[in-house]
Structure 1
Amino acid sequence: MLRSEDGWMDTASSLVSASRGWFQRRALFFKVIGVGIFGLLLLIPLGMVRSVLWERQMRSAEAVNSITETWGRSQRILGPVLVVPYTWKAEFEETTVVEGRRVKEMKTAEFSSEAFFLPEKLQVAGDLEMSERRRGIYAVPVYAGKLRLAGTFIRPEFGFTGVKNPQPQWERARVSFVLSDLRGAREALVVNWAGKPAALQPGAQLAGFKKGVSAGVVVDALAAEQTFSLELTMNGSEALTVVPLGRETTVALTSNWPDPSFMGAFLPVKREIGTEGFSAEWAVSYYGRDFPQQWTTRTGERAPEEEIFAQSEFGVKLAPAVSAYRTVERAIKYGVLFVALVFTVFFLFEAVCALKLNALNYLLVGAALCLFFLGLLALSEVASFENAYAGAAAASMVLIGLYGWRVLRSAFRAVLVSGMLGGVYAYLFFVLRMEDMSLVAGTAGLFVVLAAVMYATRGLRTEVKAEETAAGAADVGVAR
């Protein structure tokens, strides 16, 4: 049975009408999906901003290295160590062949080695004057330190060597200091040993250490103790650490750096930090370290390795705890949140106020949000982070506010969007400036925002049901 042409047209018209009604009843669903896709697409420019951030970090690191290579890197002070060569005689049995017979006889030979002694008391006091060195737009904090090392050695005893009748060679004794970056030394180094000056020469002459200085000294075998002192003027950057070689080690440091970070195996027993700088004092006994007070390089024994000494070092870090690049990186992680919030506000205005926004509107608003992070990165390189953040946030708020005035068709709605965005920017700044509680504050903020969105959208599903009921009734009427 054939249908007439009018029948085919009526059937096609009914299918088109039913299909259109099906999409209209689910318009909200497809709108949400579309907005979500646009939000995901904006992850691409956010990723590009992150790649620019990494590039700028590399350039900053190159600038820092170029400055610290010539000025001086992080400084570690290890010393002094008193080295005393000694000899001893030992008998041994030797077998020889005489007229075809093996003959055993006792012989005596002289052996030599070196004994290493650490100070009884070590006192380090100094002042670190901070300044900036620049390479283009990059600034690097560096310091010029004036340090004084002083203390005493008690008379060395050789009973620990395990040999009989050791003979110390006091006239060949030397004292060694290990400095991690000798390029920072600004003056000739002279150690005062028992009241007599001795010029320090390059080379630690200490097993396991390459960088350092040493000088020959004469040890008075009859004196109960030997005093020493060293005036040290040196350049450095990033940090200054001391290895506690003394049986009792005390360190006192002052500086005009207002944001120190104390580091290492021991914390200060006293410290004062203010806007003008800091002062700190350490008191360390030899019980908190893993190397002995004396040792020898006699055959079969090993000297403590450099890593063992490094495990006991302590001091202060003289660099920003959180760099601007690190803060910008943390801010970019919240980029998706910014996009989701602003898109949600625009979507609510569109759903509640019967507005019609197209894909271009959402993409342009998302692009403005991404530009905030790029502007923050650019401004943070030439201004303080606070000023950079305020400038980038203000530009983003004004740009989105003026655009929203036109597409939302209301100055009040535009001001509302800008105000909401400003509140989010302010809260993000609060979170970024926190260190220990940033995760808690950020999570609490997300809960509040989600609750607000859920409250604002609580009636959308009811409205959709009413629309579906009306559309369904219309379809029934058409079918009849």
Structure 2
Amino acid sequence: MNQNKGSFPGSFLQSTTIKMIMVGMLTLVLLIPLAFVNDLIHERSERKKEVVNEVTQLWGKDVFFYGPIIKVPYKRYTETSVLDPNTKKTSIQLNSSVDYAYFFPEKFNNTSNIKKNTSLKRGIYNNVVYSADMKFDGNFDKLNFEKLDIAEKDIEWDKASLVVKTTNLKSIKSDLVIKLNDHVFNFESKDEQDNFYGTLETETFDYKTLAATSKLDFSFSMKYNGSNSIKFIPIGKTTQISLNSDWDSPSFEGMFAANDATKTISKKGFHADWKILDINRSFSQQHVSKIPNLNEYSFGVKLIDTVDEYQQNDRASKYGFLVIGLTFLIFFLIQQINKINIHIFQYTMLGLALIMFYTLLIAITEHSSFSLAYLIASVSVIGMIVLYSVSILKTKKFPLFIGLALTAVYTFIYVIIQLENYALLVGSIGLFIILGLVMYFSRKIDWNNSNE
């Protein structure tokens, strides 16, 4: 009786239930270093964003184009009541001030060639930057002051100018001149309180003299260094935009979709056209006092980097719990089926080896491609675990099976990471198959026998 009592703690600790509990608890504990790996990925991702932002500050940010717009001053009158202190009578005093009317073009056309710059690299990070050669032309129809209820006598025709609002002024790389009919004018940068746009404006001209034929044709070109995106405001009564680029992963954004009939995307680049009419948007062709904020009507293209190595690393790390759990399950089933004793310390070493996969993955990815890094990290970790298994299992048959199983698991996860639309479907089918295999191989285990 005393002998049985003395052996009870040892028998209890060797029971299948306690082993399952210990392995399960170890799996949960290993979530702590896995969380540190996630923090490392996010930290490296934020570092990349800082570097990219620093580079784009120097090279050029997003290009957002709003113009050209004709600006014409006029006299505005206000009435003020004035009380005579002597007669105690009130009289109306008419005061005049200068305000401005703004007119959008009848036709607005743009053709832009966007060329990616692959040489701009800071440290280990590549940046999505480009050079854009943009050509504009179109015309203004007769300016309709009647709609604005402005009398002809109050218009200062000889002080008209042309305005363009755009971002990224410091990265314009060409002379800024515009041809209005047969006359050439220079753009000058204006210091206006606008947190989003910079303002370019020509010297003043006599609109009536310049637009003697009632229409005012314009044409100009700009060269930009930019990054991330190019967008436009469809201010023309008819707006036509044509974009050509050698960038192979565009994302078309904004209120208006590109013409599907002419849109093409290939490994060599993309081409996209837009044609937008005034009936497609709900703002007028003329405005008073200030140029309205029409950013909600913007459209264009975003040049995206489809291979975001940190996003792929983050997705891979989210499957860490699954990899650790399945690996421990394989070892546990081998232990139970073949009556092999595996110490909890050995499980810990296996778990840490699996965690090391993710640190290797992110470190190698920063200096190569994600696919190559995934191959190197997975082969290294699987090789380490197989060699360690030979020493603890004292056989080559089971380590070979473990190596094949881990290869299947890592391949399965890689496929899921690469998929987008079908990731959930493939993942669910894969997990269903894994569950079926576990049920099959564990069906003959006598779980009622608590001792080995």
Q: What TM-score do you get using the length of structure 2 for normalisation?
A: 0.91
Match of 2:174 among 187, 191, 202: 187
Letter paired with 2:410: Y
SS in 2 for 1:157: coil
Letter paired with 1:264: G
Cross-structure match for 1:388: 373
Offset of 1:157 from its aligned partner? Answer: 1.1
Cross-structure match for 2:275: 283
CA 1:163–1:129 in 2, change beyond 3 Å: closer, same or farther? closer
Cross-structure match for 2:27: 39
Cross-structure match for 1:251: 241
Structure 2 residue 280 is the aligned partner of structure 1 residue 332: no
Conserved? CA contact 1:203–1:210, under 8 Å: no
Offset of 1:18 from its aligned partner? Answer: 5.6
Offset of 1:371 from its aligned partner? Answer: 1.1
SS in 1 for 2:144: coil
Q: C-alpha distance in 1, partners of 2:319/2:247?
A: 32
What do the CA deviations read for 1:201-247 (whole angstroms, capped 9, x no partner)? 01276988651211134423543211111111010011111111111
1:69-468 correspondence to structure 2 within 5 Å: 69-87=57-75, 97=84, 100=87, 102=89, 109-132=95-118, 133-203=120-190, 210-216=197-203, 217-220=205-208, 222-269=212-259, 270-297=262-289, 304-305=292-293, 309-460=294-445, 463-465=446-448, 467=449
Letter paired with 1:189: L
Q: C-alpha distance in 2, partners of 1:99/1:358?
A: 108
Offset of 1:20 from its aligned partner? Answer: 5.5
Instruction: Find the structure with the greater CA-based Rg.
Output: 1
Q: C-alpha distance in 2, partners of 1:251/1:304?
A: 21
Conserved? CA contact 2:145–2:151, under 8 Å: no
Offset of 1:136 from its aligned partner? Answer: 1.1
Greater RCO (CA < 8 Å, at least 6 residues apart): 2
Q: C-alpha distance in 1, partners of 2:81/2:8?
A: 113
Q: C-alpha distance in 1, partners of 2:83/2:8?
A: 116
Conserved? CA contact 1:46–1:335, under 8 Å: yes
Q: Please report the RMSD computed on the Cα atoms of aligned residues, expressed in angstroms.
A: 2.5
Offset of 1:76 from its aligned partner? Answer: 0.8
Of all paired residues, the percent bearing the same amino acid is 28
CA 1:59–1:96 in 2, change beyond 3 Å: closer, same or farther? closer
CA 1:358–1:267 in 2, change beyond 3 Å: closer, same or farther? same
Q: What are the ranges of 5 or more consecutive residues in structure 2 without an aligned counterpart?
A: none
Offset of 1:39 from its aligned partner? Answer: 1.0
Q: C-alpha distance in 1, partners of 2:337/2:352?
A: 24
* Count of matched residue pairs: 446
Offset of 1:137 from its aligned partner? Answer: 1.1
What do the CA deviations read for 1:284-329 (whole angstroms, capped 9, x no partner)? 22334343221111xxxx7523xxx211111111121351101101
Q: What are the ranges of 5 or more consecutive residues in structure 1 without an aligned counterpart?
A: 1-9, 472-480
Conserved? CA contact 1:397–1:422, under 8 Å: yes
Cross-structure match for 2:40: 52
Q: C-alpha distance in 1, partners of 2:357/2:137?
A: 55
Conserved? CA contact 2:173–2:223, under 8 Å: yes
The answer to which of 319-328 and 109-118 deviates more is: 109-118
Offset of 1:175 from its aligned partner? Answer: 1.0
Conserved? CA contact 1:81–1:177, under 8 Å: yes
Offset of 1:439 from its aligned partner? Answer: 2.6
Conserved? CA contact 1:291–1:304, under 8 Å: no
The answer to which of 404-413 and 244-253 deviates more is: 404-413
Conserved? CA contact 1:80–1:175, under 8 Å: yes
Conserved? CA contact 1:176–1:205, under 8 Å: no
Offset of 1:412 from its aligned partner? Answer: 2.5
Offset of 1:345 from its aligned partner? Answer: 0.6
